[in-house]
Amino acid sequence: MIRRLLFSVLFALALPAQDVSRLPEWARGPAQAAQAEAPPAGAWAWGLFLRQEAAYTGGGEVRVRTLRLVKVLGERGLQEGAYTLHSLGGRASRLKHLKGWNLRPDGELVKLERDDVAWTDADSDGEVSTRVRTSAWLQRVAPGSLVAFEALTVERLPMGPDKVWYLPEDIPIRRWELAFAKRGGFFSDLSEVASPLETRNWAEWGLRPEPLEGGGLAANAIPPLPEHERATPYLPDILPKVLLRFQDPGDLRSAPRTTWAALGAWLWARYDEVRAPGSIPGLAGLPPREALAAISRWMRRELVYRAVYLTPERGWIPVSPAEVMRRRYGDCKDLATCLIAEAAQAGLKAFPALCRIQDGAIADDAPVSAYAFNHVIAAIRLPESLGWPAEVETPAGRFLLVDATARYTSMGLLPPDHRGRRLLICTPEGGIWVRVPDTATARPRVEVDLDGAAEASGAVQATVRIRESADAWGLREVAHVGGLDDLRRHLVRTGFQIPPGGALTDLSTGDPLDVDRPFEVRFKLRHPQGWYTTGTRGTLIDWGLPSAPAAAQKPGVPRRLPFQRRANRELVIHAAWTLPAPAQPSLPELKSDTPLRSLRWTARAEGPRLLLDLEDRLKDADFSWDRRPEGVQAWKADRQLIQKLLDQGLRFQWGAGAP
């Protein structure tokens, strides 16, 4: 590979300068200017020019013309010969026009026409949608090629004409521009349309906005995204970006983006449009707490979470509760709407509550937009407390927060992803912001009890009992969805590895849907060589212990992104091993309380028995831009801590009568 790359580069250098006049007019200037500059060190491609031209045409429609010019520098850069557009498909977004040029280092010009575009399915696991991936490939791209694309997309996004552009890519960008305008037709008056432009996170990346004549802005020398950095915040929250919003008073179909209160009221109306009576039997006359518990049990056993988006609008608009009951499945909006209907049957008023889970948090100063959310739960108004942790007090009264998709979480608690997040309760009077307290969420916890015996031959066998809370290891869900066979494979991957000749047998579990108590799993393990001896030292297999964290980044490379980890899992292990002869543990105690975890390990001997106890609690960690080195050092120390536990915790010294 290195020899071929070197040949390609030398071949490109030996060729005469490319005739950039054969490129489209917009690409000639940037290509000519870059010829006098050295490419950024280590880059496999160089983005010479990237320009977005956004025009609002009325009725919620935005047209975006993208101009892209890239210099291919190495073999990896050959992928720049492909142009890919991710879109919602249908009427929401489409690629209207596409052209491409490949000016090779030998002077040949290869062109791309629109007929070369291919559409492929972009659905994710567990989701059916109209989203598509549009791709086009330029032929004969080589190191030294100048690759240019010109694309025109037409977008009519379901929740309104908001556009976001993220500046960094995998390659460095020499020049980036955004221009925008309003272009109405003969029957469109866009004079009242506002188009506020906002930049975020530019200073943290050393970028300075440069105003463009006629509206818009530009940036120079945008560094590439760092590679191989773990434990980062959700990237869209920290990348330098531009938000462009076309606020059209005449666009009555889009969600309002003036205030959160107005957006909340608008969203409540969309859910109210599909309101219907509940249909779960036996709720009449039950006290509120019993009725809600009965609703939760019924939905947990009868309804399945599944996302089906046959139109782009379905990403935001729910179907009716009756349709959910008929199908026996729905996405988060559908299940929340179903829960709202059943709560009404029990005499309780409930409302949709929009939030964002997994993909970062909603900033306190986030712009008003329905796109801030990716999940919907229900907020049930309570006349008085029912004594559940997930109750919150607001200026509009007390609400119980319920995530109808959380099949493995007890009623009265939210799943761990909601911890500390903000959500918007949508009522007819407006949206109400609430922050979820830590006490309102289930705490992931795993308790492992292991009773094992080591034989003189090197074989070991053990009986194991696991009690899992909040689906901390995913055991409850795997057992419910895949049965014992899938659970057996999952246990082996989780930390109870067995080689050929070993076995995991006698596997049994509790009811996966009995979520009001920890999920219990029992099994037996046998390993043909589960311990070994070196001189007077023996070492046992590390069943159940936490694995060492992977490196946070490449060694010797300065950290570029902030360091962040959300984790509050707790692992407790009690293990008793009977050895062939008395022995003493090599690591009788290990204690640590760091920014990333609190750990306590003890090991003691009682004759031929080793008694091992571990309490390991992960912590949230957040090291901002100016504290990145601290985060790196904390991660390294955490890796060393766990590696020490793995290297020495299961090691022992033989006493008298060693085998």
Residues 6+ apart with CB under 8 A from 350: 339, 340, 343, 344, 378, 379, 380, 381
Query: 3-class SS at 85?
Result: strand
Average of per-residue pLDDT values in the chain:
89
**How many residues would you count in the chain?**
659
The per-residue pLDDT for 189 is: 56
Dihedral angle at the C-alpha atoms of 274, 280, 283, 289, nearest 10 degrees?
A: -70
- Here the tokens at position 424 are 């918007």
The residue with tokens 């980036």 is 176
| 260-440: CATH topology | C8orf32 fold (3.10.620)
In this prediction, residues 539-550 reach a mean pLDDT of 93
The per-residue pLDDT for 314 is: 63
Two domains, one topology: 2-245 and 260-440:
no
**What's the pLDDT band for 651 if we cut at 50, 70, 90?**
very high
The per-residue pLDDT for 246 is: 87
**Is domain 2-245 annotated with CATH 2.60.40.3140?**
yes
Higher pLDDT, 425 or 255: 425
Percent of the chain at pLDDT > 70 equals: 90
**What's the pLDDT band for 94 if we cut at 50, 70, 90?**
confident
**What's the pLDDT band for 475 if we cut at 50, 70, 90?**
very high
**What's the pLDDT band for 497 if we cut at 50, 70, 90?**
confident
**What's the pLDDT band for 424 if we cut at 50, 70, 90?**
very high
pLDDT single digits (tens) 250-303:
887 888 889 999 999 999 999 999 988 888 998 888 999 999 999 999 999 999
The per-residue pLDDT for 185 is: 47
Strand partners, 330: 305
The residue with tokens 């892209």 is 68
In this prediction, residues 493-503 reach a mean pLDDT of 88
- Rounded-to-integer distance, Cα 139 and Cα 129, Å: 31
pLDDT single digits (tens) 357-398:
988 899 999 999 999 999 999 999 999 999 999 999 999 999
- Rounded-to-integer distance, Cα 435 and Cα 361, Å: 11
- Rounded-to-integer distance, Cα 361 and Cα 283, Å: 36
- Here the tokens at position 275 are 């309101």
Q: Is the pTM of this model over 0.95?
A: no
| Three-state SS sequence of 245-291 | ECECCCCCCCCCCCCHHHHHHHHHHHHHCCCCCCCCCCCCCCCHHHH
Please provide the distance, in angstroms rounded to a whole number, between the alpha carbons at the two ends of the chain: 53
**What's the pLDDT band for 121 if we cut at 50, 70, 90?**
very low
Q: Considering all CA atoms of the chain, what is the largest pairwise distance in Å, rounded to the nearest integer? A: 99
Domain residue limits, the chain: 2-245, 260-440, 445-654
Residues 6+ apart with CB under 8 A from 124: none
The per-residue pLDDT for 252 is: 74
The answer on pLDDT for 12 being more than 50 is: no
Higher pLDDT, 119 or 260: 260
The residue with tokens 């080195």 is 629
The per-residue pLDDT for 270 is: 92
The one-letter amino acid at 426:
C
